[in-house]
Structure 1
Amino acid sequence: MINVVIADDHPIVRAGLKQIITEEADIAVVGEASNGVELLNLVRHHDYNVVLLDLSMPGMDGLDVLKQLKIEKPHLPVVILTIHPESQYALRIIKAGASGYLTKASADEELIRAIRKVHRGGKYISPSLAEKIAFALDEDASRLPHETLSDREYQVLCLIGSGKTVSQVAESLALSVKTVSTYRARILEKMHLENNAELIHYAVQNGLVE
């Protein structure tokens, strides 16, 4: 039996995932968490075979949770489930240690295959993401400005690029306004941009926001 724990802040999403999984005789949902802190507590006290982790959760977001899981349980497979398109976060998520990346729109068709594959020790990614990773591994591939950012800077870029104010970004990431402002200043400097308008334009032009 493949024992799965689901972390998502939306009960309806968790219920939908459970419904898909319970139709399979060899997979069972044996744990649920509504945020990153709850998930980490569960994983510390119980044994699971696969983690299904939402990327966007209040407080400690999915990327931070993933990094902590890789420190505490380096061999525990983590499949990221998210509304964000592959172009926005997938490559960073895989580099951070995830065993799989699924958009929620494709979960109905791909979820079971992903769980079984990562449980066997494999990686579950789409052909388009595999191509992106191949190019990223090419040492001669030129890096776009946003690819030079740290993970946190990249998160701030995407949130500001989607139209959020510094205060809204701070609330979303559970950071102070001052800290987010510092990240924003670093982003503008690294990317040679002047203001939020240019930042938003860059994010849209490069497909970093929907």
Structure 2
Amino acid sequence: LVDTAAGYTVGLKEAANKFTAAVDEFDDVLEKAKSLPSTKEATQKDEDRDKAWNAFRRIAKATKGHPNKEIADFAVKTEEIFLQYGDMLPLAHQEETARIHNLLQDLKALDTTKMNQAGFTPFLTDLEQKATAYITISDTQSSEHGRRMVGIVKEKRAAADTAYRQLVETVNALVIVNGDTAYKEFVLDLNGRIDQNKAMLANRRTVAK
């Protein structure tokens, strides 16, 4: 992004540069992780666990609007438990593992019948299975370096996600103020880069399996 481009601002350039740097760093650690079989598997198990946690959290939030008041009330109670433990995704692995363990204990202490009625039981089971699978592979990792590498991959992935969100927020704010004409070319270029990065990272993961 050159400073003579239409719609250029220092903030936009900084956000774009941070996004590019974050994706490059994420790609770099994925490349290094390829040589560590246990690291690759642990990273995948951690992603599976994160997705299961997020799916349960989202369904609990969405079910608060259920027409059945009893189910809606149970959804409120369930979401309150999730809120109590906060966002798991940015946490270091050991802390996330401990929090998910405690979260699961609290969720399993809820009324089983209501859990079934709300349709939450499959999500609870899935989260518990994914959490157990991560712990199992984590315990059998081949080296301390491997455990550190899994943590680095998670950290860099989170940083890339954050940089992307900040870039999108910056562009959206500028479009609101200045209109979208000046940013159409930049957005098209950005979308192209994002597609390329997704393909590149997907290839890294495929090769790493």
Is the shorter-chain TM-score for this pair beyond 0.5, marking a shared fold? no
- Structure with the bigger RCO (C-alpha within 8 Å, sep 6+) is 2
Return the TM-score normalized by structure 2.
0.31
Greater helix share, structure number: 2
Greater strand share, structure number: 1
